[in-house]
């Protein structure tokens, strides 16, 4: 039995296409593996606070030296890290916001990037050689974009700070097995968007074909 952590980053609700992608994905997953546990983490509509100076000081204080106030400061981050590390599979649903990711998802990632918990240095001190501590995991990134042409080798690839960033930051944590599925052309609507939607839904269905 595996634990699947679904992370929704869109600030929109029913109008969110990335949410609909994660819903479709989890439906397919549960049909194939009904005994697996699905956990949802909301970072788009629930407040994930940005890190503060107090947070930074606490995060780099040895656990045995944390004051009660510092422990309280790190409480949410500790919960998020524990939840994240306990999962076997990750499903991130996120729109492209200004060629990158929504601020809620960035804040969530900042809470996860914990030295000696999700990543470290090879020598144990700053040496430029990052070592991930979240290993042997699988991640799916389900994205929605208003325009098209942001994939590698395409016209707008140089403006895609969404999926390259996610691959980089989670790769540093140790997650290398990452599959992307992207829905494009939302802003065009009509047949153009419907064609993209059909292709994306088929791409998700294909992930479950054996």
Q: Where are the domains of the chain?
A: 3-207
Identify the CATH assignment for 3-207 out of 3.90.320.10, 3.40.50.720, 3.40.50.360, 3.40.50.2300.
3.40.50.360
DSSP class of residue 182 equals: E
- 3-state SS, residue 61: coil
Instruction: Read off φ and ψ for residue 171, nearest 5 degrees.
Output: -65, -40
Q: Please report, in tens digits, the pLDDT of each residue of the chain (210 residues total).
A: 999 999 999 999 989 999 999 999 999 999 999 999 999 999 999 999 999 999 999 999 998 999 999 999 999 999 999 999 999 999 999 999 999 999 999 999 999 999 999 999 988 778 889 999 999 999 999 999 999 999 999 999 999 999 999 999 999 999 999 999 999 998 888 888 899 999 999 999 999 986
The residues near 39 (Cβ < 8 Å, ≥ 6 apart) are: 3, 4, 5, 6, 83, 87
- Residue 6's closest CA among 14, 21, 15? 21
Burial class (CB in 10 A: 0-12, 13-18, 19+), 6: buried
Q: What secondary structure letter does DSSP report for 153?
A: T
């Amino acid at each position: 039995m595996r634990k699947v952590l679904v992370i929704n980053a869109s600030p929109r609700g029913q109008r969110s296409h990335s949410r609909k992608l994660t819903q479709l994905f989890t439906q397919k997953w549960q049909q194939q593996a009904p005994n697996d546990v699905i956990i949802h983490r909301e970072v788009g509509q629930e407040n994930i606070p940005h890190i503060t100076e107090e947070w930074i000081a606490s995060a780099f204080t040895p656990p045995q030296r944390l004051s009660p106030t510092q422990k309280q400061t790190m409480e949410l981050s500790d919960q998020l890290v524990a939840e994240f590390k306990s999962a076997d599979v990750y499903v991130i649903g996120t729109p492209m916001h200004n060629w990158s990711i929504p601020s809620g998802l960035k804040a969530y990632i900042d809470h996860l990037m914990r030295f000696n918990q999700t990543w470290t240095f090879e020598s144990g001190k700053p040496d430029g050689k990052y070592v991930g501590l979240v290993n042997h995991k699988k991640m799916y990134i389900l994205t929605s974009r208003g325009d098209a042409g942001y994939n590698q080798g395409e016209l707008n690839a140089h403006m895609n700070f969404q999926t390259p960033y996610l691959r980089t930051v989670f790769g540093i944590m140790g997650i290398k097995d990452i599959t992307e599925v992207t829905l494009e052309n939302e802003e065009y609507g009509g047949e153009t968007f419907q064609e993209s939607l059909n292709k994306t839904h088929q791409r998700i269905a294909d992930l479950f074909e054996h």
